[in-house]
Amino acid sequence: MANASTAHHDDHHDHHPTGLARWLFSTNHKELGTLYLIFSLAMFLVGGAMALVIRAELFAPGLQLVNPEFFNQMTTMHALVMIFGAVMPAFVGLANWMVPLMIGAPDMALPRMNNWSFWILPFAFTLLLSTLFMPSGGPSAGWTLYPPLSLQGGNSLAFVILAIHLMGISSIMGAINIIATILNMRAPGMTLLRMPLFVWTWLITAFLLIAVMPVLAGAVTMLLTDRFFGTSFFNAAGGGDPVLYQHIFWFFGHPEVYILILPAFGIVSEIIPTFARKPLFGYTAMVYATASIAFLSFIVWAHHMFTVGMPLGAMLFFMYATMVIAVPTGVKIFNWIATMWRGSMTFETPMLFALGFVVMFTIGGLSGLMLAIVPTNFQYHDTYFVVAHFHYVLVSGAVYAIMAGVYYWLPKWTGHMYDEKLGKIHFWWSTIWVNVLFFPQHYLGLAGMPRRIPDYAVQFAEFNMISSIGGFMYGFGQLLFVYIIWKCVRGGEKATAQVWDGARGLEWTVPSPAPLHTFDTPPLVDDKVAVHADRLT
């Protein structure tokens, strides 16, 4: 920064760098948001390709395409790439783009750190994916890296752990930035209870991220020292316990699954009121429900590990605490439905994805309740029922909400309307095949098919074949999504500032496409522009 003293916000519009430098050195929340979203889309396709390797191998019983070691690497890497590379960066990208626009801020609170949190990610994933090309292959003990299995693999473990450290650093910095932005950068009059729900859910998500990513860092550090420095954290011979890893990991892991879903709740809570042309029903209840879910997420972790042999009292506590989460989640689903009640509904693509989210996330939530019951969990644990459950909440849940958000805000980002007809085809194609893909996995799991195996008994053949067909159709259908985005970026019907006639909030008061710098002068927020105006007195 040779000319740091002149690089002032007001006079740098003219000499903005171009080409690669523009993206490498950017401090702009919109450019960095775009980078996050593009990176996430690329990782979605990489992780999806891994999923197709898995589904191709499982198309029929027996070992056909890949050897079991590689199959295990695919299941491990698919999860790591999708969670840390696709879903989390997509939400951070949406937050980068939309939070400053929604609260009337000129940019993120810490713009340089924003650049840093993004650019760590491509390097971290290079490190992670490079392990696939190492002599010992990538990690193959599952994304949870349970010891002792994960400690018995090849020399890729160190690379995986250090890549996870980098991702964690990126996530923590991104979360700190989002919290600082929301708490510190709101326009005058944008009180906490006037904030759009997407902002609220991200505020709480950011808190979860800062609280648990360091715990993951601690857990994998202990793995590293157990493997390379002779410590005994997870070694019973030295007085440690492999189950200890699972406790620490899931203390991170359970809040993590809410990190993957709370921003999705926020997106859906923005979209449904717009297309129902009614304000969100129970705004305050939504805020409190989100906070309750976040609190509960810290005291339910052991439901991921009921079968390890815990004291009975612990199992009962974690079972009941888990079931309590259904209450605030039920509040949310009720409120979304109540928002639509007697609304003037239209069904543009964002609304379709949001509705798909509500229906299919509920299916995933209910199978989660089944899993919460200890005696039945003993039966379902590590079967395809679990796989079906978390793919319903993650694919037809989190990913659907991200796609809904992308369709919803794409006109604001590009200045063009996307192709509505193709968008609807994308929705219906995805929704049909995602159910063909994952619904049969419930039956497979209930019938006893274990997860993470490349081969299976012949009685599971039909449902696996159906699931694989669904997987390939759903997977290749996502290329249509890429095409729709590309087409929308290239051109299309001009979007107005308002875009959707039922939309409310500050982001719709700036032109489409949103100029590089918005709200240099903060807008004054009163009841008229607040999203939830009519709720306020």
Q: Would you count residue 111 as binding other proteins (CB under 8 A)?
A: yes
Residue 77 Cα distances to 63, 74, 154, 250, angstroms: 20, 5, 15, 18
Q: Which of 183, 359, 479, 482 binds other proteins (CB under 8 A)?
A: 183
> Which residue, 66 or 176, has its beta carbon nearer to other proteins?
176
Closest approach, Cβ 467 to other proteins, in A, equals: 36
Q: Which of residues 193-212 bind other proteins (CB under 8 A)?
A: 210-212
> Residue 90 is encoded by which pair of tokens?
């997509």
144 a catalytic residue: no
88: its two tokens: 């989390």
Site for other proteins in 27-46 (CB under 8 A): 27-28
Minimum distance of other proteins from residue 120's CB (angstroms)? 5
Which residue lies nearer to other proteins by CB, 219 or 257? 219
Per CB under 8 A, the list member of 38, 247, 292, 425 interacting with other proteins is 247
CA separation, residue 264 to residues 85, 198, 202, 284, 303 (Å): 16, 8, 9, 17, 23
CB nearer to other proteins: pick between 10 and 375? 10
Interior angle at CA 147, CA 146 and CA 153, nearest 5: 100
Matching residue, tokens 């599952």 = 142
Which residue among the candidates 165, 254, 426, 504 is catalytic per the annotation?
254
Contact residue for other proteins among 7, 337, 359, 366 (CB under 8 A): 7
Q: How far is the CB of 77 from other proteins (least distance, A)?
A: 17
How many residues of this chain interact with other proteins, rule: CB under 8 A? 88
Q: How far apart, in whole angstroms, are the C-alpha atoms of residue 305 and residue 312?
A: 13
**Interaction between residue 494 and other proteins (CB under 8 A):** no
201 within 8 A of 263, measured Cβ to Cβ = yes
Judge whether 267 and 404 are in contact, CB under 8 Å.
Answer: yes
Active site residue 304: yes
CA atoms within 13 A on the CB side of 48: 21
Site for other proteins (CB under 8 A): which residue of 82, 129, 248, 529? 248
Identified catalytic residue from 278, 303, 381, 391: 303
Using CB under 8 A, which of 62, 152, 192, 228 touches other proteins?
228
Is 459 among the residues that bind other proteins (CB under 8 A)?
no
| 520: contact with other proteins by CB under 8 A | yes
Residue 448 or 522: the one with the smaller Cβ distance to other proteins is 522
Tell which positions 80-109 bind other proteins, by CB under 8 A.
105-107, 109
Q: Which stretch binds other proteins (CB under 8 A): 10-18, 55-63, 355-363, 477-485?
A: 10-18
The contacts of residue 275 (CB under 8 Å, 6+ apart) are: 343, 345, 346, 347, 348, 350, 351, 354, 500, 502
Give the Cα separation of 305 and 371 in Å (integer): 11
Residue list 280-339, contact with other proteins (CB under 8 A): 309, 311
- Nearer to other proteins (CB atom), residue 169 or residue 510: 169
Please say if 303 is a catalytic residue. yes
Rounded to a whole number of angstroms, the CA Rg of the chain reads 23
Minimal distance, residue 460 CB to other proteins, in Å: 33
What's the closest the beta carbon of residue 514 comes to other proteins, in angstroms?
15
User: Which is nearer to other proteins, 225 or 284 (by Cβ)?
Assistant: 225
Query: Is-catalytic flag, 391?
Result: no
Catalytic: 517?
no
The stretches of 373-460 forming alpha helices (DSSP H) are 374-380, 384-393, 400-414, 420-446
The minimum distance between CB 24 and other proteins, in angstroms, equals: 5
Structure token pair of residue 158: 């160190």
- Measured at the alpha carbon of residue 34, what is the angle toward residues 29 and 36, in degrees to the nearest 5? 90
Which of 53, 94, 129, 166 touches other proteins by CB under 8 A? 166
Task: Enumerate residues 6+ apart whose C-beta is below 8 A from 484.
Answer: 418, 419, 422, 423, 426
Among 461, 522, 533, 535, binds other proteins (CB under 8 A): 522
CB of 446 to other proteins, least distance (A): 28
Residue type, 293: I
CB of 70 to other proteins, least distance (A): 21
Question: Alpha helix locations (H) across 104-241?
Answer: 111-130, 156-184, 197-228
Is 254 an active-site residue? Answer: yes
Can you tell me the distance from the alpha carbon of 136 to that of 157, in angstroms, rounded to the nearest whole number?
Answer: 10
CA 201: distance to chain centroid? 13
The span from the CA of 403 to the CA of 432, in Å, is: 16
Sign of the C-alpha dihedral, residues 313, 318, 323, 324? positive
Chosen residue from 185, 280, 354, 530 binding other proteins by CB under 8 A = 185
- Catalytic annotation, residues: 78, 107, 143, 170-171, 254, 256, 258, 269, 303-304, 329, 332, 451
